[in-house]
Amino acid sequence: MMLSIKRVPTIVSNYQKEEAEEGARQGGGCGRNCLRNCCLPGAKLPLYAFKRLNKNINEKGLLDYEKKEPPVAFLDSLLLGEWEDRVQRGLFRYDVTACETKVIPGEYGFIAQLNEGRHLKKRPTEFQVDKVLQPFDGNKFNFTKVGQEEVLFQFEPSEDDEVQFFPNAPIDTENSPSVVAINVSPIEYGHVLLIPRILKCLPQRIDHDSFLLALHMAAEAGSPYFRLGYNSLGAFATINHLHFQAYYLAVPFPIEKAPTRKFTTLNGRVKISEIQNYPVRGLVFEGGHTLEDLSNAVSDSCICLQNNNIPYNVLISDSGKRIFLFPQCYAEKQALGEVNTELLDTQVNPAVWEISGHMVLKRKEDYHEASEQNAWRLLAEVSLSEEQFQEVKALIFEAILCGADGNGGVKQSLLEEPDVAPQSLEEVDALNKSSHSAVVPGKQECVVLH
């Protein structure tokens, strides 16, 4: 018997928006009320200033700091309340809440959704899919071209280290704010985009500051059912402007239930594990003395993959306490003609949500025939082989231990507790030597390891 997904109720935002809307209407400009110089002067948007959470994490994994009641409930009243407001204004391309959704019977509980609107109305990809790092191109679609009415609020660290909310704050163009905006082609309820430093027009590549910002957003939401995801170029990101995605879905993702095997613990108490008994091979990061310890370990890994032209996806789970990292090769297999025609016919592009177990299906027949076996078959094509994965893992391990600190020096991020192979630096070195013949830093085509 299929289970139905319970959606959170509509929540009315707990502050008045008329003043902010009036400020947005006065800008003039190009007539589209966009986020470029033509429309920005005088523009104002709500601002949520979060408290930096670089406090110790206790043994239970909870951030150990005095948490005062925020002036506005970040997830319920602000994010979801504002998202509902945009629904009422008709800013979405289709009604995602009308999409059929079910949990597929089986051990993992894969989630299937029939989303024909996303297939027909989603913005097409406008760049090469064989390069993970590509320069920003202002002539192509980017988020400075969206209307200010699509932006829910600015999201910035608080200057006095206390949570603050300003319903009508000026846009600081010199410092380029980070913003949360709706995804007009949503996958689920509350589907939004976190766009770090939006006016700097950064390409789709993770850096330390942007990833830490994403973890802060997950921590502020404080709900296990609100996750953030990231897709690199070559791993089904469709817009080359730095952004994370996030939405609310009140069931566990299959990947969150998958068993793991501890690989090592880094200095800073960040534990790294391998995912077990799941169709896509990947790593799980959790723990750390501070949120920044955890963020840096994942960022170093992502930067390593980017620099080696290896496409990847990231899921931020458990309010920012668990992060899943998946190097993948599906687009490369497509280009080489190595994907089964039956799978290609589904037109499913397995990005972070699909890899995590939320299968967004575009055809009715695929939805009605959805099974754990079919989901497993598709996701197995995404995964690196065991040999490939071990080579990439060695690259990541080396980058975490020996990577640059951003100032030209070498980081002091040393291995603390190696538990599972590679258990010594000699083994790491041996794996690295084998991988360097297959993965060439700076190589300009997507990597399929052999």
Q: For the range 168-175, what are the long-range contacts, defined as Cβ-Cβ under 8 Å and sequence gap of 24 or more?
A: 168/19, 168/20, 168/23, 168/44, 168/45, 168/46, 169/44, 169/45, 169/46, 169/47, 170/43, 170/44, 171/40, 171/43, 171/44, 171/45, 173/37, 173/40, 173/199
With beta carbons less than 8 A apart as the criterion, state whether 27 and 43 touch. yes
Amino acid at 263: F
As to burial, measured by CB atoms within 10 angstroms (0-12 exposed, 13-18 middle, 19+ buried), residue 392 is buried
Give the whole-angstrom CA distance, residue 416 versus residue 289.
Answer: 13
Strands 260-266 and 415-418: antiparallel
Q: Is the link from the previous residue into 422 a cis peptide, with omega within 30 of 0?
A: yes
Residues 227 and 317: beta-carbon distance below 8 Å? yes
Rounded Cα gap, residues 175 and 205, in angstroms: 19
Helix axes 291-307, 208-221, angle to 10 degrees: 130
Helix 386-402 with 425-436: angle, nearest 10 deg: 120
CB of 136 closer than 8 Å to CB of 142 = yes
| Tokens read off for 141 | 């679609």
Q: Which of 216, 243, 289, 436 is catalytic?
A: 243
Residue with tokens 């991988």: 435
CB 256 within 8 A of CB 317: yes
Which strands, in side-by-side order, build the sheet including 358-361?
101-103, 111-114, 358-361
Structural contact between residues 255 and 355, judged by C-beta atoms closer than 8 angstroms: yes
Dihedral class, residue 34 (left if φ above 0, else alpha if ψ from -120 to 50, else beta): beta
> Is residue 216 annotated as a catalytic residue, yes or no?
no
| Three-state secondary structure call for residue 164 | strand
- Which residues are known to be catalytic? 243
